[in-house]
Amino acid sequence: MLLEGRWVERDATTEILDPYDGSVVDTVPKADLADAERALSHAERAAASARAWPVHERMRVLAGAASLLDQRRELFATRIASEGIKTIREARREAIRCADTLRIGAEEARRLHGETIPFGQVPGSERRVGAWTPEPVGIVVAITPYNDPLNLVAHKLAPALAAGNTVILKPDSRTPLSALALVELLIEAGLPEDIVQVVTGPGSEVGATLIRDRRPRTVSFTGGRATGERIAREAGLKKLSMELGSNAPAIVLSDADLETASAACVAGAYAAAGQNCLHVQRLLLHEDVAQEFLERFLAGAHATTTGPKLDEGTDMGPMIDEEAAKRVEATVRDAVAAGAKVLSGGGRSGTVVEPTVVSDVPAGHPLELDEIYGPVSMVRTFTGPDEAVAVANAVDFGLQAGVFTRDLESAFRMAEALHYGGIMVNDSSDYRIDAMPFGGVKGSGLGREGVRYALEAMTEPKLVCFARS
């Protein structure tokens, strides 16, 4: 791990296991509380040099790392697939996106500016001039998840570095290899080694220490809601940026293009084996088109292949571990026991859960209200748009929603009525580009990702006012 400006080993290590077959991919140091304190003390010292790091150098490093990543895309894709849940084809797409995220960071560093203030708007202040500028917060603690182990690291590092901060990165303990490789790439591109630290260790110990300490001014976290709520309780007076998942609906109106809608929803339901905050969990179908849509969707679910992640023909990989797979399986079984029907899938083999479709889920069941975080989608019909909106808004999440319709007025009405951070019209909830503001309402989190928008949480406005004689 990268600590105090140098790569270090520890006697205590953590094995990184391939979740598909349990094989050991690599080992990393297991940081302890003393390592977390070292990282914090060093970050406090390094904040001044990070702030003084010239903007043109920040731009050069981020753009240079993007170019290096383009050249080594297959190497990074293989690493992503080996340590995590993604198939090789999914991993390649993540590597491409990561390079784009880094380039956006370079561009946003160029655009980091404030604005003048017309003090003369107040009587007696006519002879005052001034402006505000965005200043780095100093120390950013970044905590990243396992489902996008490369690009979501870039979504923390790119804005933090563009703004002139020092960063303590705590990647998910199960998938730290991609994060370590990305930081190595940034250093190769010219990043000073003392500006970013990567601490590999258990979140319950190391992560908690980093969060509670008074020296970091921003905590950027992507992960589960329960952990996010704990961070909010323990962090103290800090800026918090948290993306905490969702229970996303795809609403198919009676005039939808069913071929487009079903294909988009199948992709959104089973990408990353459903371990995705944008996962299409609820299929809300107008009763006039429900049967035809469902026939198309079930055909897509049946055609989704599982298998070794590095096999080019594999569509869907495993859950992150067997405990997660058993949790998803148990949730489906509980829904069936309460009266639901499995229309497709429902089985499990080790860490692999079959692409699953469930109907007749009882009202109030966890599969309807909570985030399943697995390859399971439930079906429910509606008779009119108002009913669809009410059902979609009835959960305590609100990241993104998908709406399928050919009618522009219907699209506008649905977009206005849905209480979500993003509305994807004629796309599933599982659509994102890395330049857009990304985040949710209600239990889906605080703030927005996307480099430009993450910068807001990683900078503070400094005002300077001159009183002229």
Cα separation of 440 and 422, whole Å?
7
Chain centroid to CA 454: 12
**Whether residue 287 lies in the annotated active site:** no
Look up tokens 């961070």; give the residue. Answer: 231
CB contact at 8 A, 244 and 224: yes
The single residue of 108, 243, 368, 449 carrying the catalytic annotation is: 243
Secondary structure of the chain in the HEC alphabet? CEECCEECCCCCEEEEECCCCCCEEEEEECCCHHHHHHHHHHHHHHHHHHHHCCHHHHHHHHHHHHHHHHHCHHHHHHHHHHHCCCCHHHHHHHHHHHHHHHHHHHHHHHCCCCEECCHHHCCCCCCEEEEEEEEECCEEEEECCCCCCCHHHHHHHHHHHHHCCEEEEECCCCCCHHHHHHHHHHHHCCCCCCCEEECCCCHHHHHHHHHHCCCCCEEEEECCHHHHHHHHHHCCCCEEEEECCCCEEEEECCCCCHHHHHHHHHHHHHHHHHCCCCCEEEEEEECCCHHHHHHHHHHHHHHCCECCCCCCCCCECCCCCHHHHHHHHHHHHHHHHCCCEEEECCCEECCEECCEEEECCCCCCHHHHCCCCCCEEEEEEECCHHHHHHHHHCCCCCCEEEEECCCHHHHHHHHHHCCCCEEEECCCCCCCCCCCCECCCHHHEECCECHHHHHHHCEEEEEEEEECC
**Whether residue 188 lies in the annotated active site:** no
In Å, the largest CA–CA distance within the chain is 80
The tokens for 183 are 């930081």
The single residue of 277, 329, 368, 371 carrying the catalytic annotation is: 277
Q: Catalogue the active-site residues.
A: 243, 277
